[in-house]
Amino acid sequence: MSFLFEATEKLKKVLYFLGRRTSLWLGVSVVAGVVMGFAELGLSILLQALLVSLDIIQQDMSVLGADLVFRLSSPILLLVGLFSIIAIKGIAHFLVNQSSSVAHELINARLRCVAIYDLLHSKNFVSAAEVNAKIGDSFPKAAQFAQQASLAIPSFIQCVTLLCFMFLAAWKEALVSLAMISVIAMIVWTVNHHVRRIASKVPGEQAALVQGIERIARNWLLVKVLRTIRFETDRLTQNILNYSLHFTRSRFLANAASSLPIVLGGLMLVVIVALNLRVFSTPGPVLLAFLYLLVRFTQQLAALARSVGAASSYFPHFKISGQYFFRFSPEQLDEALHPSKALNLEGKQESRGATSLRAAKAQRAKPLNRPKAPQIEINSLSFRYSPDLPWVIDDLNLQIAAGEQVGVTGRSGSGKSTLLGLILGVLEPSMGKILIDGISPNDYFETEGVKVGYVGAEPFLIEGSIKENLEYGNDRDLPESEYWQALEFAEMKDCIEEMPGALDYRLKENGEGLSAGQKQRLALARAFLAKPQILILDEASANLDERTESQITEKIQSCKGAWTVIVVSHRPGILTHCEKVYDFERMELKETWGSEVLKELK
């Protein structure tokens, strides 16, 4: 009973992994396999009846009911029946292929949706290399496994059905065939076991290759300067060669396994005919019917071996993808796969344009209720990333008044960015608490009308126009004058006015075409346009010259009280107007005016 229970639970997990639509199509594929098996029997019977009608064999020598069919049918009806069965077989074949295509695409789509959910909701950093390795290699090959498995199921059903009919036609020949088929199956299983073992090395090589490419893309200039081009070339080339070698070897063995049934099936035909001549003495028409079924059985066995061989090559990817999928709770998977009523992998989907337009109109129809700048209370806050790691923040107490400007300084790795993650609700405190206007960060940022402006050292820009980049994350209809006001605030207005098309000027991904300082100022303008309650500047002046930094600092000060500002920086200039500065390196808070802080930091 325990074994049956475990098998049932595993089956439930597999079906949940596949999804309702994929499981439904697999059921269709099973039915189509049964239909195709019976179609082979029908063809065997009708072909015999046709041979009887053409006086090629005697009526009393036919088998499997062909004589009865002949007595009840005319040659014309036999031809019509023959065509009908071939047509049914063709429809069943179409359904099998469609099932495999659906399995491939839906598995790939489900896994990608989960990866996107993980990227956007994970509390830990998810590297681009890791995501690219999954979406570009592991998930497509897991989908290939599902496709090949969905082809193998109807092939297996046809093999079983044909084997049963072979026993009905000539049981002695069928027993000999079954013995030889068992030998073939053992050989194919052994070969595919080696295929899975070799293929299990492929995902690791692919991950190393993608990570290496990502690393070089991020540090291209450093690689050039340090003259490590030859070292990096050799390492990546080795990854490519290892990947190619393992995958080619696994496919070689899989292709050999799929060819074995054809070769050994031919040997089986020779053995059956030889035994019939010397031992069995089976009547010719019966032997003819049996050999037809045996040939079709051998063909289906080869198709089954081909699908199983291909599936074995992709099984390691399917296993890894399944383990990744079930890292998430059912609630998280439901949110990942059904992000909204309009987007649903299990049913009809609305167009993205219609969905976005309707959501935007609904949002804009709501009256704007803009909360005031909040106060932030940090009480006995401690945080570490795991129980076996040291504390990043230990018993921090900090009070930030509504509309106040506070600076945070300290060396790299001292906990500045971690504190921001905790304030923004991206991380959860290990001990202590953070309250924003008396509630948790997550609850505060879910409040209607609350906006946060965030600008980091690496400005985030999208492929699109200047206006689309400024609108990113903003759900309000705004007059054009506000765009220009935000750009002027960020010392970017003159630059944009000189561009062809001004606000309609299109940028490439990551703002290609702008200097580092221009990208930074455009990101600042986007934050100012949102009119946030909390403005966070995390090394936001890293790419700005001192004059521009000073101008933007003065403009932020001119809006004192409109927003609560947290400035993380090692540059004293942008901290000039901060009422207090917390130094992570010295673990002390300096409650003094900016000029004094500036002097001490310098």
- Closest CA relative to residue 249, chosen from 301, 189, 312, 186: 312
Indicate the pLDDT class of residue 225, thresholds 50, 70 and 90: low
What pLDDT, on the 0 to 100 scale, is given for residue 449?
Answer: 78
**Confidence (pLDDT) at 91:** 92
Rounded to an integer, what distance in angstroms lies between the CA atom of residue 166 and that of residue 67? 18
List, for residues 244-274, the tens digit of each pLDDT value. Answer: 888 888 878 878 877 877 788 788 888 888 8
CB-based contact 432:382 (threshold 8 Å): yes
- The residue among 228 and 157 whose pLDDT is bigger is 157
Tokens, residue 523:
């990101």
DSSP string, 568-583: E-S-GGGGTT-SEEEE
Burial class (CB in 10 A: 0-12, 13-18, 19+), 220: exposed
The mean pLDDT of the chain is: 78
Q: Which amino acid is at 521?
A: R
- Measured distance CA(340)–CA(16) in Å, rounded: 19
3-state secondary structure of 535: strand
User: What is the average pLDDT across 349-359?
Assistant: 43
Mean pLDDT of 563-579: 79
Q: 41 by DSSP, 3-state: which?
A: helix
Nearest-angstrom CA–CA distance, 405 and 420:
14
Sheet holding 588-590, edge to edge: 452-455, 534-538, 564-568, 405-409, 580-583, 588-590
Say if strands 506-507 and 464-465 run parallel, antiparallel, or are unpaired: antiparallel
- Give the Cβ contact number of residue 458 at 10 Å: 15
Q: Look at residue 555 in the predicted model and tell me its pLDDT.
A: 78
DSSP 3-state assignment of 562? coil
CA geometry: angle 371, 374, 375, nearest 5 deg: 160
Strands 452-455 and 534-538: parallel
- Local structure of 93: helix, strand or coil: helix
Give the whole-angstrom CA distance, residue 122 versus residue 114.
11
Percent of the chain with pLDDT over 90: 2
How wide is the angle at C-alpha 111 spanned by C-alphas 106 and 112, nearest 5°? 95
Count of CB atoms situated within 10 Å of the CB of 120: 9
Least confident of 80-84, 270-274, 541-545: 541-545
User: In the structure encoding, which two tokens stand for residue 230, read together?
Assistant: 């030859």
Identify which of 475, 469, 440 has the alpha carbon closest to the alpha carbon of residue 455. Answer: 469
Main-chain phi, psi angles of 177, to 5 degrees? -60, -40
Number of other CB atoms surrounding residue 527 within 10 Å: 24
Reported confidence tier of residue 221, pLDDT bands at 50, 70, 90: low
pLDDT of residue 40 exceeding 60: yes
Domains annotated on the chain, with CATH: 111-337 (1.20.1560.10), 376-601 (3.40.50.300)
What is residue 452's three-state secondary structure?
strand
Higher pLDDT, 448 or 88: 88
pLDDT above 70 for 407: yes
The two three-digit tokens of residue 86, written as one number = 């071939």
Interval 62-73 mean pLDDT? 52
At 354, the pLDDT band (50, 70, 90 cuts) reads very low
The radius of gyration of the chain from alpha carbons, rounded to an integer in Å, stands at: 35
Q: φ and ψ at 535, to 5 degrees?
A: -115, 120
How far apart are the C-alpha atoms of 459 and 455, rounded to whole Å? 7
Instruction: Please report, to the nearest 10 degrees, the dihedral formed by the alpha carbons of residues 232, 236, 241, 242 taken in order.
Output: 110
Express as a percent the part of the chain with pLDDT over 70: 81
- pLDDT of res. 224: 64
Burial code (b: 16+ CB inside 10 Å, e: under 16) for 70-94 equals: beebeeeebeebbeebeebbeebee
Task: Please report which confidence band the pLDDT of residue 596 belongs to, taking 50, 70 and 90 as the band edges.
Answer: low
Max mean pLDDT range (71-80, 580-589, 592-601)? 580-589
Closest by CA to 207, choosing from 158, 242, 161, is 242
CB atoms within 10 A of CB 536: 22
Confidence band, pLDDT 50/70/90 cuts, at residue 94: very high
Residue 321 pLDDT > 70 = yes
Residue 241 has what pLDDT?
A: 84
Structure token digits, residue 306: 């081909």
The interaxial angle of helices 284-325 and 171-199, nearest 10 deg, is 30
pLDDT at 348: 47
Cα 566 from Cα 406, distance rounded (Å) = 5
The CA dihedral of 316, 322, 328, 331, to the nearest 10 degrees, is 170
